[in-house]
Amino acid sequence: MTTEATGSDALSGPTLVGVAELAGVSRSTASRVINGSPNVTEETVARVNEAIARLGYVPNRAARSLVRRRTQTIAMVIPERTAEFFADPYFAEVIQGAAMYASSTDYSLTLLIESESDPAKAHRFLRRGNVDGALVLSHYSASSDYLELSRSLPVVFGVRPAGGIDAEIHIVDVDNDSAAALATEHLIETGRTRIATISGPQSTSAGRERQRGWHRALADAGLGEAGCEEGDYTPASGAAAMERLLAGAGGFDAVFAASAQMAAGALEVLSSRGIRVPEDVAVATIDNNVFTTTTTPPLTTVDLHTAGKGATMVATLERLIRGEHVEAMTPVPIELVRRGSS
Amino acid sequence: MTTEATGSDALSGPTLVGVAELAGVSRSTASRVINGSPNVTEETVARVNEAIARLGYVPNRAARSLVRRRTQTIAMVIPERTAEFFADPYFAEVIQGAAMYASSTDYSLTLLIESESDPAKAHRFLRRGNVDGALVLSHYSASSDYLELSRSLPVVFGVRPAGGIDAEIHIVDVDNDSAAALATEHLIETGRTRIATISGPQSTSAGRERQRGWHRALADAGLGEAGCEEGDYTPASGAAAMERLLAGAGGFDAVFAASAQMAAGALEVLSSRGIRVPEDVAVATIDNNVFTTTTTPPLTTVDLHTAGKGATMVATLERLIRGEHVEAMTPVPIELVRRGSS
DNA sequence: CTGAAAGCGCTTACAG
DNA sequence: CTGAAAGCGCTTACAG
């Protein structure tokens, strides 16, 4: 800190030959030490490292990039549409997770906005060797263009591409089926036997998958379904679904709601009917967000590790860049968070 | 599109000598055309440009960066703290605005997370010539370290640094005083004469500035204060402040609330008392967010142009990088959005 | 284990 | 207006 250069010197800074001279070795040897080559004497390594420390040397990124043909940069491709993207804290969290993880690696994360007026611009940027790989976070862009891009550049998708999935691409996403099963299994483990569900819209794959997970967990435990009503992920729809469930013939001692917002709505109805949670009816859901902590009682839920998804996307891309084999689908770890509703 | 190379070729791609050969000129001349040098024949320019187009040539960024000592990259420094940062849509919007604007320039935007465990890491990165400039968005980091950094690297702050402001630094921020005055002036223009305020915490500079703006607008119009109660930006505190205002001696026909959340709380109280908005009491506030559109009636407010702030930060940094003179403080344009509450 | 040399792809004085 | 040459700061075969 004390002896660091200031002003424009900061941009030039100490150079490899400076290190080499101070250490009394050649540039080649200094470079080998820097890059962790095994073929260097212990003593030489020490001398070079000392020189590096003394000078506060850091390799020039451009020079290194030029010769290695690696940029050490990855792009996060995000859609331009504000409403669908930045307004959604989900995406902000994915980006944060990715940025945090990237900061622990040698890669820089560049934000690449896919302009609606010129979507090809982002593609050009990506194809021009500006980055070593790309993370794609937009449904919109998950078109055949990107599928094609992933043949010439390592690409990891954070969303399922609209066009069918072929073996060439790599996706990091949460396993909705497992998340639903995890919540349902938890209800079963706590002794519930008649478990209903408030499902998400069956027109969406996530909605279908979560319902399937609930069903599977029941089947695996030898239990039958105790009711199933569909909502649209809003609290109001959750409340309405709960009303229908209560009006139904079969009783139930637990409910798995496919989203926290719907669970919150359902809780209101139970409360207004004097049905105690969790004594009379246990509730478990998915999404560890503000809706699960502000309800009474707070909701047992499955944390989708959204920030972890961002991190996993980067980690997966790193493997791809290194040329390692990567499965087409990398699930994001999920976790049950137990609270008062079960 | 049709003749583009695929596979690893995408990373090498056409090179400057390829262009030069195809155009029948030297690398020097080709380079001059690419960089818009005036000392080239029209005909040569045409030939080179044709070769560039035919080859789909794009300059290698690393090579150019190496010789120019410019990275064409700027960093957006953001704090690690999730709760205070990514949870806040305000920051996501600033980032979006910056990324959008950057995509229209020659600069790439890199996300640089300031790790709490090793805050010096971000500084090292910045000092090492990895970027041409930095945008700083964290209060936390706006310490003397960054003030010092801004002496060796173009830096634009999106927040007021905690330590005093000296002439050396550059800030892009909204003018809270003006925003408050704008809202208050609007109330005055619509005929209100007894205008109270629900202020923000006077322990914060934004809180004080907004109160000052309200006061200034009244004074400019020759009006006196019709009440002033402090809140802490939460809806509950806005409701409480409104109760106190109503309990006070002097009547009022309008209220300027220093934040939309407080205005929302105040509206509830007015509604429960049967006080009509805007007939009996007009309300105007600051922040054009979800709280202003979901209330009854929706709130007249001042849009702080948060995305515009991000854009202005980038634009300001560009000017700084070019060596242009930039004022210490660049205000972000604000705008009155008129809705039903006034 | 180490060094001299070539080269990554560009830009820019320097001559002409 | 144009070209030959040097150089940006690194890495990496190639010899030794």
Structure confidence at residue A254 (pLDDT): 97
- The separation, in Å, between residue B37 CA and nucleotide C16 C1' comes to 19
Domain assignment present for B338 = no
Q: How far apart are CA A106 and CA A98, in angstroms?
A: 13
What's the mean pLDDT in A37-64?
Answer: 89
- Same domain, yes or no, for A80 and A135? yes
What strands lie across the sheet with A73-79, from one edge to the other?
A329-332, A171-174, A155-157, A133-136, A73-79, A108-114, B108-114, B73-79, B133-136, B155-157, B171-174, B329-332
- Same domain, yes or no, for B289 and B180? yes
- Same domain, yes or no, for B185 and B289? yes
Residues B293 and B332: beta-carbon distance below 8 Å: no
Among B149, B159, B289, residue whose Cα is nearest residue B233: B289
- Same domain, yes or no, for B159 and B13? no
Please list every residue in chain A whose beta carbon sits closer than 8 Å to the beta carbon of residue B112: 103, 108
Domain assignment present for B3 = no
Structure confidence at residue B1 (pLDDT): 31
Among A265, A253, A251, residue whose Cα is nearest residue A299: A265
- Same domain, yes or no, for B197 and B220? yes
Distance from CA of A327 to the nearest CA of B (A): 20
**Region at B73 (left for phi over 0; alpha for psi -120 to 50; beta for the rest):** beta
Domain assignment present for A18 = yes
- Is A3 an interface residue toward B (CB < 8 Å)? no
- The more confidently predicted of residues A165 and B192 is B192
Domain assignment present for B1 = no
What is the count of residue pairs from A and B with beta carbons less than 8 Å apart? 136
State the average pLDDT for chain A.
87
Structure confidence at residue A85 (pLDDT): 56
Residues B61 and B106: beta-carbon distance below 8 Å: no
Residue B231 phi/psi, 5-degree rounding, is -125, -175
Structure confidence at residue A86 (pLDDT): 59
Please list every residue in chain B whose beta carbon sits closer than 8 Å to the beta carbon of residue A121: 103
Positions 96-135 of A with beta carbon below 7 A from strand C are none
CATH number at residue B41: 1.10.260.40
Domain assignment present for B76 = yes
- Is B85 an interface residue toward A (CB < 8 Å)? yes
- Same domain, yes or no, for B205 and B264? yes
Q: How many domains does chain B have?
A: 3
- Same domain, yes or no, for A288 and A182? yes
pLDDT in tens, A291-301: 788 788 999 99
pLDDT by residue, tens only, chain B of 342 residues? 323 332 333 356 788 988 998 999 999 999 999 988 888 898 899 999 999 988 888 888 999 999 999 999 999 998 777 555 555 677 888 888 999 999 888 899 999 988 777 777 888 788 878 899 999 987 655 466 777 788 888 999 988 766 555 657 899 999 999 999 999 999 999 999 999 999 999 988 889 999 999 999 999 999 999 999 999 988 889 999 999 999 987 789 999 999 998 999 999 899 999 999 999 999 999 998 877 887 889 999 999 998 899 999 999 999 999 889 999 899 998 999 999 999
pLDDT in tens, B2-49: 233 323 333 567 889 889 989 999 999 999 999 888 888 988 999 999
- The more confidently predicted of residues A313 and A96 is A313
State the average pLDDT for chain B.
87
Nearest-by-CA chain A residue for B75: A110
Q: Which of B10, B128, B151 sits opposite A127 (nearest CB)?
A: B10
- Same domain, yes or no, for B152 and B93? yes
On strand C, nucleotides with any atom < 7 Å from a protein CB are 1-5, 7-13
- Note the Cα A46 to chain centre separation in Å: 40
Structure tokens at B320: 């700084």
Per the DSSP assignment, residues forming a β-bridge with B289 are none
- Is A152 an interface residue toward B (CB < 8 Å)? yes
pLDDT in tens, B182-223: 999 999 999 999 999 999 999 888 899 999 999 999 999 999
Range 258-297 of A in CB contact (< 8 A) with B: none
A61 CB neighbours strand D below 7 A: no
Domain assignment present for B44 = yes
Domain assignment present for B228 = yes
- Same domain, yes or no, for A168 and A313? yes
Q: Which nucleotide's C1' sits nearest to the alpha carbon of B31?
A: C11
A13 CB neighbours strand D below 7 A: no
Range 227-256 of A in CB contact (< 8 A) with B: none
- Is B124 an interface residue toward A (CB < 8 Å)? yes
Give pTM, 2 decimals. Answer: 0.82
Domain assignment present for A2 = no
CATH number at residue A281: 3.40.50.2300
- Same domain, yes or no, for A149 and A193? no
Please list every residue in chain B whose beta carbon sits closer than 8 Å to the beta carbon of residue A307: 82
Q: How far apart are CA B231 and CA A320, in angstroms?
A: 52
- Same domain, yes or no, for B98 and B166? yes
Q: Which residues contact A38 (CB under 8 A, 6 or more apart)?
A: none
- Is A53 an interface residue toward B (CB < 8 Å)? no
DSSP A250: S
Q: In the structure, what pLDDT confidence band is assigned to residue A39 with cuts at 50, 70 and 90?
A: confident
pLDDT in tens, A116-139: 777 778 887 888 788 999 999 876
Structure confidence at residue A319 (pLDDT): 93
Percent of chain A residues topping a pLDDT of 90: 55
B17 CB neighbours strand D below 7 A: no
Report how far apart the first and last C-alpha atoms of chain A are (Å, whole number): 54
Q: How far apart are CA B266 and CA B255, in angstroms?
A: 9
Residues B77 and B136: beta-carbon distance below 8 Å: yes
Range of the domain at B234: 176-303
- Same domain, yes or no, for A52 and A74? no
Q: How far apart are CA A278 and CA A247, in angstroms?
A: 19
